[in-house]
């Protein structure tokens, strides 16, 4: 893929980026609250987002710029296993429909802003609250860094080399997120998603017509995998268990992340969440079409430095320059929405579950908003430093570990919604075992997310995060029996606020 600057492509991209930047700053006046500005307004948009805003917001930060680059790249590199994101983003929505309205009601009634708030309210344990909050922040940092990596891929395709363009994009993102809070990514998500839909529909209609149809695309992809000696357009029998458990584990962990939970808590009602659980699978169709670009890369005979170049190279090779500019802008803007929501979610966790809990318990609501706004800048700066000064593979490994880690917060966050049986020390012990055990298994497998488990009929490949979660729940249950036997009482659920 060439890296020369094309004036037409660059001009169209800059125009789209400036348009969205203007919207980001306009968001400071959009749905401006009448009441005093607090963390509810800055970090959750006043908990007032209806069905469509929530749909665009959650879709915008769930289907990220890195997804647009990484999913086709994985399909290009390994074939069928790269489609695991499809079942994962199908089964996740029944989970959201069944579980998240209960979480929203608990958070709304008690004024909870973060997962740490919910855990402290349910169990009254500062250590458990801190464990959940710290896991959320640490797991989010590499996730934000990968969004910047997706943006860097788009900038590279535009011929913008070096660190300056990425730093400018970071500054723009930081400034309007600071000023408008969650309203900025919510407003930008409308434009971003429309652009993405236009790009993907154009790609899946026009590219196969140029390459001889979908039959030719699949034939070329299979021939490429056969020549390479690995991968294929169908799963091998020994990949079934890895594929299924990866989808299930990813589904369970998806809405434990601070950014996805922020979208849930910003909804105006439990019914809004249920409606979105029914509407959000439309994005899964988009994801499936996007993944097909990986196969199209083989059919187009692309010569790539890295699989991450497959989508930019397709657009640069097969589309007019102006449309390539539109597509690269869509990818770059696709990084802004999730990166903004992720930094806001992490800032909320720091403010509520560290600053207010340990540094300044008497901080005012306005003071909370100020701390969160400043923290959001530091979070984004940290992610930028990861991209600039650490090897890319390190960020990817950290994000992989982040997925395993965030899954270990599920018992502490959700079990208290449906049962009063568990005690905080037991959940804390389960979290520690799941976190440490999962980290060891990922490292032991050479930073691969799959681990061989022997269930008596021979080893099968299973997603490491799911293995760690089973360990987590088993340890929490065993310790809970001992704790309850010792007469430990459960802390009462907080009635309101913090």
Q: Considering only CA atoms, give the Rg of the chain.
A: 22
Q: What is the distance of C-alpha 248 from the center of its chain? A: 16
Cβ atoms within 10 Å of 347's Cβ, excluding its own: 33
267 DSSP β-pair partners: 49
Angle 231-236-241 from CA coordinates, rounded to 5° = 115
Helix axes 126-157, 321-350, angle to 10 degrees: 160
Could you tell me which of 10, 8, 74, 4 has the C-alpha nearest to residue 311? Answer: 74
B/e letters for 312-328, b = 16+ CB within 10 Å, e = fewer, are: bbbbbbbbebebbbbbb
Q: Report how far residue 50's alpha carbon sits from residue 197's, in angstroms, rounded to the nearest whole number.
A: 21
**How long is the chain?**
498
Cβ atoms within 10 Å of 382's Cβ, excluding its own: 16
Q: Report how far residue 89's alpha carbon sits from residue 36's, in angstroms, rounded to the nearest whole number.
A: 38
Residue 480 token pair: 């809970």
Q: Which ranges of 300-409 does DSSP label H, i.e. alpha helix?
A: 310-318, 321-350, 365-389, 392-407
484's enclosing H/E stretch is helix 464-485
Q: What pLDDT does residue 496 have?
A: 44
Q: Report how far residue 292's alpha carbon sits from residue 85's, in angstroms, rounded to the nearest whole number.
A: 12
pTM reported for the whole predicted model: 0.90
Residue 187 token pair: 């407003």
Domains of the chain: 10-392 (1.20.1730.10)
Q: Report how far residue 358's alpha carbon sits from residue 83's, in angstroms, rounded to the nearest whole number.
A: 44
Q: Which ranges of 158-182 does DSSP label H, i.e. alpha helix?
A: 164-180
Q: Report how far residue 235's alpha carbon sits from residue 245's, in angstroms, rounded to the nearest whole number.
A: 14
Cβ atoms within 10 Å of 419's Cβ, excluding its own: 8
Question: Which residues of the chain fall short of a pLDDT of 70?
Answer: 1-3, 34-37, 393-396, 488-498
Side-chain-side CA neighbours of 344 within 13 Å: the count stands at 36
461's enclosing H/E stretch is strand 459-463
Report yes or no: 249 and 465 within 8 Å, Cβ to Cβ: yes
Q: What pLDDT does residue 495 have?
A: 46
Q: Strands 459-463, 450-454: parallel, antiparallel or unpaired by DSSP?
A: antiparallel
């Amino acid at each position: 893929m060439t890296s020369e600057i094309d004036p037409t492509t660059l001009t169209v991209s800059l125009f789209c980026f400036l348009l969205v930047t203007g919207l980001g700053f306009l968001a400071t006046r959009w749905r401006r609250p009448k009441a005093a500005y607090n963390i509810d307004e800055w970090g959750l948009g006043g908990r007032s987002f209806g069905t469509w805003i929530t749909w665009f917001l959650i879709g915008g930060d769930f289907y990220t710029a890195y997804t647009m680059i990484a999913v086709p790249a994985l399909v290009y590199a390994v074939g069928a296993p790269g489609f695991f994101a499809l079942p994962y983003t199908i089964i996740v929505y029944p989970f959201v429909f069944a579980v998240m309205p209960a979480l929203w009601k608990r958070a709304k009634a008690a004024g909870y802003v973060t997962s740490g708030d919910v855990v402290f309210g349910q169990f009254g344990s500062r250590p458990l609250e801190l464990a959940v909050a710290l896991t959320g922040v640490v797991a989010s940092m590499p996730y934000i860094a990968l969004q910047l990596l997706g943006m860097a891929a788009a900038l590279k395709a535009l011929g913008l080399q070096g660190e300056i363009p990425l730093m400018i994009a970071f500054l723009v993102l930081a400034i309007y997120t600071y000023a408008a809070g969650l309203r900025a990514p919510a407003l930008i998500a409308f434009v971003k998603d429309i652009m993405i839909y236009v790009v993907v529909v154009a790609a899946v209609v026009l590219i196969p017509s140029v390459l001889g149809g979908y039959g030719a695309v699949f034939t070329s992809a299979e021939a490429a995998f056969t020549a390479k000696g690995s991968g294929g357009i169908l799963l091998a029998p020994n990949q079934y268990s890895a594929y299924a458990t990866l989808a299930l584990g990813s589904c369970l962990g998806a809405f434990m992340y601070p950014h996805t939970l922020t979208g849930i808590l910003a909804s105006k009602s439990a019914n809004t969440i249920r409606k979105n659980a029914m509407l959000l699978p439309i994005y899964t169709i988009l994801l499936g079409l996007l993944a097909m670009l990986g196969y199209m890369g083989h059919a187009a005979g692309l010569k790539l430095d890295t699989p991450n170049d497959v989508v930019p190279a397709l657009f640069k090779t097969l589309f007019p320059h102006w449309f390539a500019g539109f597509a690269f802008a869509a990818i770059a803007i696709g990084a802004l929405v999730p990166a903004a929501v992720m930094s806001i979610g992490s800032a909320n966790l720091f403010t509520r579950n560290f600053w207010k809990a340990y540094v300044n318990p008497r901080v005012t609501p306005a003071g909370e908003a100020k701390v969160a706004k400043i923290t959001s800048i530091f979070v984004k700066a940290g992610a930028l430093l990861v991209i600039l000064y650490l090897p890319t593979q390190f960020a990817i490994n950290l994000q992989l570990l982040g997925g395993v880690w965030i899954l270990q917060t599920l018992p502490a966050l959700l079990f208290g919604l449906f049962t009063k049986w568990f005690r905080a020390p037991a959940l804390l012990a389960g979290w520690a075992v799941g976190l440490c055990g999962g980290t060891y298994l990922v490292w032991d497998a050479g930073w691969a997310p799959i681990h061989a488990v022997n269930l008596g009929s021979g080893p099968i490949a299973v997603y490491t995060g799911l293995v760690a979660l089973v360990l987590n729940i088993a340890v929490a249950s065993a310790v809970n029996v001992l704790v309850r036997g010792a007469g430990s009482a459960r802390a009462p659920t907080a009635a309101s606020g913090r």
